[in-house]
Homo-oligomer: A and B are copies of this chain.
Amino acid sequence: MVDMQLVFLGTSSGAPTVQRGLSSIALIRGAELLLFDAGEGMQRNFIKAGLAMNKKMKIFITHMHADHCVGLLGLLQTMELQGREKSIDIYGEPRLEEFLRENMRIIGFRLTFDIIVRKIEKEGVIVRERDYQVSCCQAMHSVPSFAYCLEEFDRPGVFNVAEARRLGIPEGDLYSKLQRGEDIVYGGQTIRSSQIVGRPRKGRKIGISGDTRPTDRLARFFKDCDLLIFESTYSQDKQEKAMENGHSTAAEAATIAKKADVDKLLLTHFSARYDETSLLVKEASAIHYNVEAAEDLKVVRVSYKQDS
Protein backbone atom coordinates (compact mmCIF):
# COMPACT_ATOMS: atom_id res chain seq x y z
CA MET A 1 0.00 0.00 0.00
CA VAL A 2 1.62 3.20 -1.16
CA ASP A 3 0.07 6.37 0.16
CA MET A 4 -0.67 8.88 -2.58
CA GLN A 5 -1.95 12.41 -2.39
CA LEU A 6 -2.18 15.45 -4.58
CA VAL A 7 -1.57 18.99 -3.43
CA PHE A 8 -2.58 21.84 -5.70
CA LEU A 9 0.14 24.50 -5.62
CA GLY A 10 -1.49 26.85 -8.11
CA THR A 11 -4.86 26.78 -9.86
CA SER A 12 -5.10 29.99 -11.87
CA SER A 13 -4.61 30.28 -15.62
CA GLY A 14 -2.44 32.99 -17.17
CA ALA A 15 -2.31 35.50 -14.33
CA PRO A 16 -2.48 34.87 -10.61
CA THR A 17 -5.29 36.28 -8.47
CA VAL A 18 -5.52 37.14 -4.79
CA GLN A 19 -6.69 33.55 -4.12
CA ARG A 20 -4.90 31.55 -6.80
CA GLY A 21 -1.29 31.09 -7.87
CA LEU A 22 -0.05 29.82 -11.23
CA SER A 23 -0.23 26.19 -12.34
CA SER A 24 1.52 23.52 -10.33
CA ILE A 25 0.45 20.17 -8.92
CA ALA A 26 2.43 18.03 -6.49
CA LEU A 27 1.70 14.31 -6.48
CA ILE A 28 3.26 12.74 -3.41
CA ARG A 29 3.57 9.00 -3.82
CA GLY A 30 5.27 7.27 -0.93
CA ALA A 31 8.76 8.72 -0.58
CA GLU A 32 8.67 10.43 -3.95
CA LEU A 33 7.26 13.72 -5.16
CA LEU A 34 6.16 14.16 -8.77
CA LEU A 35 5.62 17.76 -9.72
CA PHE A 36 3.50 18.68 -12.73
CA ASP A 37 4.27 22.21 -13.95
CA ALA A 38 5.93 24.98 -12.02
CA GLY A 39 4.21 28.30 -12.62
CA GLU A 40 5.80 31.47 -11.27
CA GLY A 41 5.63 31.66 -7.50
CA MET A 42 4.68 28.01 -6.93
CA GLN A 43 7.58 27.56 -4.52
CA ARG A 44 5.68 29.77 -2.09
CA ASN A 45 2.79 27.28 -1.95
CA PHE A 46 5.28 24.41 -1.97
CA ILE A 47 6.67 25.87 1.26
CA LYS A 48 3.22 26.65 2.67
CA ALA A 49 2.16 23.04 2.01
CA GLY A 50 5.12 21.88 4.09
CA LEU A 51 6.65 19.91 1.20
CA ALA A 52 10.33 19.01 1.44
CA MET A 53 12.86 20.55 -0.98
CA ASN A 54 15.18 17.57 -0.54
CA LYS A 55 12.75 14.79 -1.42
CA LYS A 56 13.27 12.33 -4.25
CA MET A 57 11.60 14.19 -7.10
CA LYS A 58 10.69 14.23 -10.77
CA ILE A 59 9.30 17.27 -12.54
CA PHE A 60 7.07 17.25 -15.61
CA ILE A 61 6.38 20.42 -17.59
CA THR A 62 3.31 20.32 -19.82
CA HIS A 63 4.35 23.23 -22.04
CA MET A 64 6.66 26.22 -22.19
CA HIS A 65 4.28 29.03 -21.31
CA ALA A 66 5.59 31.25 -18.51
CA ASP A 67 2.71 30.45 -16.18
CA HIS A 68 3.68 26.76 -16.32
CA CYS A 69 7.48 26.85 -16.24
CA VAL A 70 8.97 30.08 -14.86
CA GLY A 71 8.67 28.88 -11.26
CA LEU A 72 11.33 26.24 -12.00
CA LEU A 73 14.07 28.85 -11.67
CA GLY A 74 13.19 29.88 -8.13
CA LEU A 75 12.35 26.35 -7.05
CA LEU A 76 15.75 25.03 -8.16
CA GLN A 77 17.55 27.93 -6.49
CA THR A 78 15.73 27.41 -3.21
CA MET A 79 16.60 23.71 -3.35
CA GLU A 80 20.20 24.78 -3.78
CA LEU A 81 19.99 27.19 -0.81
CA GLN A 82 18.75 24.25 1.22
CA GLY A 83 21.71 22.16 0.15
CA ARG A 84 19.90 19.57 -1.95
CA GLU A 85 22.24 16.88 -3.23
CA LYS A 86 19.90 14.41 -4.95
CA SER A 87 19.76 14.83 -8.69
CA ILE A 88 16.46 15.69 -10.29
CA ASP A 89 14.91 14.66 -13.63
CA ILE A 90 12.90 17.28 -15.46
CA TYR A 91 10.73 16.25 -18.41
CA GLY A 92 9.44 18.57 -21.07
CA GLU A 93 9.62 19.62 -24.68
CA PRO A 94 13.06 20.46 -26.12
CA ARG A 95 12.87 24.20 -25.36
CA LEU A 96 12.84 23.37 -21.64
CA GLU A 97 16.53 22.54 -21.81
CA GLU A 98 17.28 25.86 -23.50
CA PHE A 99 15.14 27.75 -20.99
CA LEU A 100 17.08 26.32 -18.05
CA ARG A 101 20.50 26.58 -19.67
CA GLU A 102 20.09 30.18 -20.83
CA ASN A 103 18.64 31.39 -17.55
CA MET A 104 21.32 29.68 -15.49
CA ARG A 105 23.90 31.39 -17.68
CA ILE A 106 22.30 34.85 -17.67
CA ILE A 107 21.21 34.96 -14.03
CA GLY A 108 24.41 33.13 -13.19
CA PHE A 109 23.37 30.41 -10.82
CA ARG A 110 25.05 27.14 -9.99
CA LEU A 111 23.36 24.20 -8.33
CA THR A 112 24.61 21.82 -5.67
CA PHE A 113 22.86 18.96 -7.46
CA ASP A 114 22.48 17.65 -11.00
CA ILE A 115 19.49 18.38 -13.12
CA ILE A 116 18.86 15.98 -15.94
CA VAL A 117 16.61 17.42 -18.60
CA ARG A 118 14.69 14.68 -20.42
CA LYS A 119 13.51 16.06 -23.73
CA ILE A 120 10.17 14.68 -24.81
CA GLU A 121 9.97 14.36 -28.56
CA LYS A 122 7.23 11.77 -28.93
CA GLU A 123 4.31 10.21 -27.13
CA GLY A 124 4.56 7.10 -24.99
CA VAL A 125 6.07 5.91 -21.74
CA ILE A 126 8.71 8.33 -20.45
CA VAL A 127 9.31 6.92 -16.96
CA ARG A 128 9.26 3.28 -15.98
CA GLU A 129 9.85 2.54 -12.32
CA ARG A 130 9.48 -0.69 -10.36
CA ASP A 131 5.82 -0.15 -9.59
CA TYR A 132 4.56 2.62 -11.82
CA GLN A 133 5.07 4.36 -15.14
CA VAL A 134 4.44 7.83 -16.50
CA SER A 135 3.40 8.33 -20.08
CA CYS A 136 2.63 11.38 -22.15
CA CYS A 137 0.23 12.24 -24.94
CA GLN A 138 0.07 15.23 -27.24
CA ALA A 139 -2.40 17.83 -26.11
CA MET A 140 -3.87 20.51 -28.37
CA HIS A 141 -2.81 23.99 -27.35
CA SER A 142 -1.31 27.10 -28.98
CA VAL A 143 2.20 25.67 -28.46
CA PRO A 144 3.48 22.07 -28.19
CA SER A 145 1.89 20.69 -25.05
CA PHE A 146 1.80 17.30 -23.34
CA ALA A 147 -0.69 15.63 -21.04
CA TYR A 148 0.64 13.10 -18.54
CA CYS A 149 -0.60 9.90 -16.90
CA LEU A 150 0.84 8.12 -13.93
CA GLU A 151 -0.18 4.45 -13.85
CA GLU A 152 0.69 2.04 -11.11
CA PHE A 153 1.19 -1.55 -12.20
CA ASP A 154 -1.37 -3.97 -10.87
CA ARG A 155 -0.01 -5.95 -7.99
CA PRO A 156 -0.66 -9.70 -7.69
CA GLY A 157 -3.24 -10.73 -5.10
CA VAL A 158 -2.23 -11.59 -1.55
CA PHE A 159 -0.93 -15.19 -1.24
CA ASN A 160 -2.60 -16.98 1.66
CA VAL A 161 0.34 -18.96 3.03
CA ALA A 162 -1.65 -20.38 5.97
CA GLU A 163 -4.24 -21.90 3.61
CA ALA A 164 -1.53 -23.30 1.30
CA ARG A 165 0.11 -24.96 4.31
CA ARG A 166 -3.19 -26.29 5.59
CA LEU A 167 -3.62 -28.02 2.23
CA GLY A 168 -0.10 -29.39 2.55
CA ILE A 169 1.24 -27.78 -0.63
CA PRO A 170 5.05 -27.67 -0.56
CA GLU A 171 6.74 -24.30 -1.09
CA GLY A 172 8.47 -23.75 -4.43
CA ASP A 173 7.22 -24.20 -7.98
CA LEU A 174 3.65 -24.92 -6.98
CA TYR A 175 3.48 -21.70 -4.96
CA SER A 176 4.78 -19.78 -7.99
CA LYS A 177 2.21 -21.35 -10.29
CA LEU A 178 -0.61 -20.45 -7.92
CA GLN A 179 0.75 -16.91 -7.56
CA ARG A 180 0.78 -16.56 -11.36
CA GLY A 181 -2.91 -17.53 -11.41
CA GLU A 182 -2.49 -21.13 -12.56
CA ASP A 183 -4.56 -23.91 -10.99
CA ILE A 184 -2.57 -26.96 -9.86
CA VAL A 185 -3.18 -30.61 -9.10
CA TYR A 186 -1.70 -31.74 -5.79
CA GLY A 187 -2.29 -35.03 -4.00
CA GLY A 188 -4.85 -35.91 -6.68
CA GLN A 189 -6.86 -32.82 -5.89
CA THR A 190 -7.31 -29.74 -8.08
CA ILE A 191 -6.46 -26.58 -6.23
CA ARG A 192 -7.57 -23.39 -7.89
CA SER A 193 -5.30 -20.38 -7.74
CA SER A 194 -8.23 -18.33 -6.50
CA GLN A 195 -8.44 -20.56 -3.38
CA ILE A 196 -4.99 -19.37 -2.29
CA VAL A 197 -4.40 -16.05 -4.01
CA GLY A 198 -6.63 -12.99 -3.56
CA ARG A 199 -7.72 -11.01 -6.58
CA PRO A 200 -5.05 -8.78 -8.18
CA ARG A 201 -4.88 -5.34 -6.60
CA LYS A 202 -5.53 -2.73 -9.23
CA GLY A 203 -2.99 0.07 -9.56
CA ARG A 204 -4.19 3.64 -9.60
CA LYS A 205 -4.18 5.87 -12.67
CA ILE A 206 -3.95 9.65 -12.45
CA GLY A 207 -4.26 11.93 -15.47
CA ILE A 208 -3.14 15.53 -15.83
CA SER A 209 -4.21 17.47 -18.89
CA GLY A 210 -2.03 20.60 -18.92
CA ASP A 211 -3.48 23.27 -21.22
CA THR A 212 -5.53 21.83 -24.03
CA ARG A 213 -8.65 21.63 -26.11
CA PRO A 214 -10.53 18.37 -25.49
CA THR A 215 -9.61 15.66 -28.04
CA ASP A 216 -10.51 12.02 -28.65
CA ARG A 217 -6.84 11.19 -28.35
CA LEU A 218 -6.88 12.52 -24.78
CA ALA A 219 -10.12 10.67 -23.98
CA ARG A 220 -8.34 7.43 -24.94
CA PHE A 221 -5.20 8.40 -23.05
CA PHE A 222 -7.14 9.08 -19.84
CA LYS A 223 -9.26 5.88 -20.14
CA ASP A 224 -10.30 4.58 -16.72
CA CYS A 225 -8.38 7.13 -14.66
CA ASP A 226 -9.16 7.00 -10.96
CA LEU A 227 -8.59 10.71 -10.94
CA LEU A 228 -8.38 13.13 -13.82
CA ILE A 229 -7.19 16.69 -13.36
CA PHE A 230 -8.37 18.58 -16.39
CA GLU A 231 -8.03 22.23 -17.24
CA SER A 232 -11.25 24.17 -17.05
CA THR A 233 -10.36 27.72 -17.97
CA TYR A 234 -13.86 28.88 -18.91
CA SER A 235 -17.58 28.43 -18.33
CA GLN A 236 -19.85 27.44 -21.17
CA ASP A 237 -20.69 30.99 -22.26
CA LYS A 238 -17.00 31.48 -23.09
CA GLN A 239 -16.89 28.51 -25.49
CA GLU A 240 -15.53 30.67 -28.30
CA LYS A 241 -12.75 32.06 -26.18
CA ALA A 242 -11.84 28.49 -25.19
CA MET A 243 -11.51 27.53 -28.85
CA GLU A 244 -9.59 30.67 -29.72
CA ASN A 245 -7.06 30.23 -26.93
CA GLY A 246 -6.66 26.47 -27.03
CA HIS A 247 -8.38 25.88 -23.70
CA SER A 248 -11.39 23.90 -22.44
CA THR A 249 -14.63 24.75 -20.72
CA ALA A 250 -15.76 22.93 -17.59
CA ALA A 251 -18.40 21.13 -19.66
CA GLU A 252 -15.75 19.96 -22.13
CA ALA A 253 -13.60 18.68 -19.27
CA ALA A 254 -16.60 16.74 -17.96
CA THR A 255 -17.42 15.35 -21.39
CA ILE A 256 -13.94 13.97 -21.80
CA ALA A 257 -14.02 12.56 -18.25
CA LYS A 258 -17.28 10.80 -19.09
CA LYS A 259 -15.97 9.41 -22.39
CA ALA A 260 -12.90 8.11 -20.59
CA ASP A 261 -14.94 6.54 -17.74
CA VAL A 262 -12.98 8.48 -15.18
CA ASP A 263 -13.97 7.97 -11.54
CA LYS A 264 -13.34 11.50 -10.37
CA LEU A 265 -12.78 14.77 -12.19
CA LEU A 266 -10.89 17.67 -10.62
CA LEU A 267 -11.21 20.97 -12.42
CA THR A 268 -8.32 23.44 -12.31
CA HIS A 269 -6.61 26.29 -14.26
CA PHE A 270 -9.43 28.76 -13.90
CA SER A 271 -9.52 32.07 -15.73
CA ALA A 272 -8.87 34.99 -13.36
CA ARG A 273 -12.40 36.20 -14.13
CA TYR A 274 -13.88 33.54 -11.80
CA ASP A 275 -13.67 34.63 -8.18
CA GLU A 276 -15.28 31.38 -7.25
CA THR A 277 -15.90 28.25 -9.24
CA SER A 278 -19.38 26.99 -8.37
CA LEU A 279 -20.68 27.79 -11.86
CA LEU A 280 -17.92 25.70 -13.43
CA VAL A 281 -18.58 22.78 -11.09
CA LYS A 282 -22.29 23.04 -11.81
CA GLU A 283 -21.77 22.93 -15.57
CA ALA A 284 -19.42 19.97 -15.32
CA SER A 285 -21.65 18.12 -12.83
CA ALA A 286 -24.49 18.16 -15.34
CA ILE A 287 -22.30 15.82 -17.42
CA HIS A 288 -20.09 13.85 -14.98
CA TYR A 289 -21.24 12.51 -11.62
CA ASN A 290 -18.12 13.18 -9.55
CA VAL A 291 -16.63 16.64 -10.03
CA GLU A 292 -14.72 18.91 -7.70
CA ALA A 293 -12.91 22.21 -8.18
CA ALA A 294 -9.28 22.49 -7.17
CA GLU A 295 -8.09 25.38 -5.07
CA ASP A 296 -4.64 26.42 -3.91
CA LEU A 297 -3.28 24.11 -1.19
CA LYS A 298 -6.19 21.68 -1.53
CA VAL A 299 -5.09 18.14 -0.68
CA VAL A 300 -6.74 15.16 -2.39
CA ARG A 301 -5.99 11.67 -1.19
CA VAL A 302 -5.98 9.04 -3.95
CA SER A 303 -7.26 5.75 -2.59
CA TYR A 304 -7.15 2.32 -4.16
CA LYS A 305 -10.34 1.24 -5.87
CA GLN A 306 -11.02 -1.45 -3.25
CA ASP A 307 -10.62 1.12 -0.46
CA SER A 308 -13.42 3.29 -1.65
In the assembled complex, A207 has its CB within 8 A of some CB on chain B: no
* Cβ-defined contact, A14 with B106, below 8 A: no
* Cβ-defined contact, B15 with A64, below 8 A: no
* Cβ-defined contact, B107 with A64, below 8 A: yes
Chain A contact-residue range equals 35 or more
Q: In the assembly, what is the distance between CA of A213 and CA of B41, in Å?
A: 28
Q: Which residues in B have their C-beta under 8 angstroms from that of A73? A: 40, 66, 70
In the assembled complex, A218 has its CB within 8 A of some CB on chain B: no
Residue of B nearest to A22 (CB): B74
The digit string for A22-50, where 1 denotes a CB below 8 A from any CB of B, is 10000000000000000011011001100
Q: Which residues in B have their C-beta under 8 angstroms from that of A103? A: 66, 99, 102-103
In the assembled complex, A303 has its CB within 8 A of some CB on chain B: no
In the assembled complex, A194 has its CB within 8 A of some CB on chain B: no
Kindly name the residue among A17, A65, A73 whose own CB sees the greatest number of chain B CB atoms within 10 A: A73
User: Which parts of A5-19 form the interface with B (CB within 8 Å)?
Assistant: 14-18
The digit string for A217-241, where 1 denotes a CB below 8 A from any CB of B, is 0000000000000000000000000
In the assembled complex, A71 has its CB within 8 A of some CB on chain B: yes
In the assembled complex, A95 has its CB within 8 A of some CB on chain B: yes
User: Which parts of A71-85 form the interface with B (CB within 8 Å)?
Assistant: 71, 73-74, 77-78, 81-82
In the assembled complex, A109 has its CB within 8 A of some CB on chain B: yes
Residue of B nearest to A44 (CB): B16
In the assembled complex, A188 has its CB within 8 A of some CB on chain B: no
In the assembled complex, A21 has its CB within 8 A of some CB on chain B: yes
Kindly name the residue among A14, A40, A67, A95 whose own CB sees the greatest number of chain B CB atoms within 10 A: A40
In the assembled complex, A182 has its CB within 8 A of some CB on chain B: no
* Cβ-defined contact, A99 with B106, below 8 A: yes
In the assembled complex, A167 has its CB within 8 A of some CB on chain B: no
* Cβ-defined contact, A64 with B106, below 8 A: yes
In the assembled complex, A168 has its CB within 8 A of some CB on chain B: no
Q: Which of B18, B81, B95 contacts A48 (CB 8 A)?
A: B18
In the assembled complex, A172 has its CB within 8 A of some CB on chain B: no
In the assembled complex, A187 has its CB within 8 A of some CB on chain B: no
Q: Which of B41, B48, B95, B107 contacts A99 (CB 8 A)?
A: B107
- A43 with B40: in contact, given A81-B15, A98-B106, A107-B65 (CB under 8 Å)? yes
List 5 tightest A-B contacts by C-beta distance, closest first.
Answer: A41-B41, A15-B78, A40-B74, A16-B44, A102-B102
Please report A residues at the B interface, Cβ cutoff 8 Å.
Answer: 14-18, 21-22, 40-41, 43-44, 47-48, 64-67, 69-71, 73-74, 77-78, 81-82, 95, 98-99, 102-103, 106-109, 143
**13 A–B pairs (Cβ distance < 8 Å), ordered by A:** A15-B82, A16-B47, A21-B44, A40-B71, A40-B74, A64-B107, A64-B108, A66-B109, A67-B77, A70-B73, A70-B74, A95-B106, A102-B103
